[in-house]
Structure 1
Amino acid sequence: MADVPWWTTLILCITGLCFRAEPSSPCPANQFLRHEGICCGLCPIGWHMYMPCKVPGSKSLCFACKRGTYMDKDNNMTKCRQCSVCDSDSQYEERKCDKRKNRKCSCRNGFHEYDGKCVLEESSKVVIIHFIRKEEIDFEIEETEIELVSQIITCASFAFFLMMAIFILGLGIQKRLTKHTPVSGKNAEEETENHELENMTLP
């Protein structure tokens, strides 16, 4: 029998690793897996774990939740959860807190829930109006800034064209002055001699 090529073995190994089934949890539903690979029993509702088990499959050492704390599910937590506290001004206690469930708070008359809190019925309107007014002010500020920038650009453009006009006008004036300036010195003498020579050559 011929030897199987090495690349065939590699493909089979990769395929097996990629498509192998995920292993199911080694622990039952009412147990959890410790780092040591031991399955321990979860603590019941109203209790928290004080110490995990040492024998696989046995119960963990659990303590009952103290006053002011609760635990509403089977767990392996090292301490219970803190009970909620109702706001005496805006809430009333609808359900007391015990070791199995949290305290339930509801809004008093004249209050309603807004953003996770109980607020006065008029307070939410004030908050909304304040928010809208703030948006309007921000929009007005943005419009003012845009108008100011536009005015600055317009003034800068006007100043630039005014300077260009003054510069061009200055060049024109300078050319006119240069054209009408009388000739003096050596240039004047040369022009006189040229004029006399022209007169002498005439018949």
Structure 2
Amino acid sequence: MANDWQDAARDEMFEQISRELYPEHKQQAIEEFAAERLRSFYLAHPTVMLPAMGMLKEGRELLELRRFTASVVFSAGSYELMLKATLLRPVVHGLVHNEGLAQVLVDHMLGTQTAIGRYKELLSKLFLSIAGVQLATVSRAGVKANILAEVIANQTLRNRILHGGGTCTRPHAEEAREVGLAVFQLILSPVLVGLGLGLDPTGRIVLATAGIADLQI
């Protein structure tokens, strides 16, 4: 019950902030969030993607060690960080010009207990605005499910492991890692390219010279 109450309170706070800042909520926010401001955020915070890349790499190493359950936890955690920290955090910062207040709102609106599914619309608007593609049409090769549906399913599996003591097999771990790679390749990379940005071999965001580096993740 406590978690339900906290989720409801967080959702209400998010909607109230949206109403006060932009009458048309998320859609108008995305439309007004110019690509130049998003690009500027990334260049000012070039290491924003490194924690997610580190978790995805750790998931791969755990998979190789046959620690499948732990691998799922790290892989699923990586793309949650990719979507929240790398895509949604700059949007919130762009809506609030006071850096201290922006960080407070980010912490509350994008907290660790907030499922990605709650921000599906916001992610979709952002992706369409920058990459020019409907996120609902993006999926892994040979997989019918939309990539965000897979993200949500693996996040649910991760939570079941952490809070219910569940265990996983190799197929679970392999799928979780493949979804993580897909989030990077099919969502993050097109956004960066659309902004004229790329990644260096260490995973730092830079002005694009040769596109996205071949990272060892």
If asked which structure has higher relative contact order (CA below 8 Å, sep 6+), I would say 2
Question: TM-score under structure 2 normalisation?
Answer: 0.15
Question: TM-score under structure 1 normalisation?
Answer: 0.16
Structure with the largest fraction of helix: 2
Larger radius of gyration: 1
Structure with the largest fraction of strand: 1
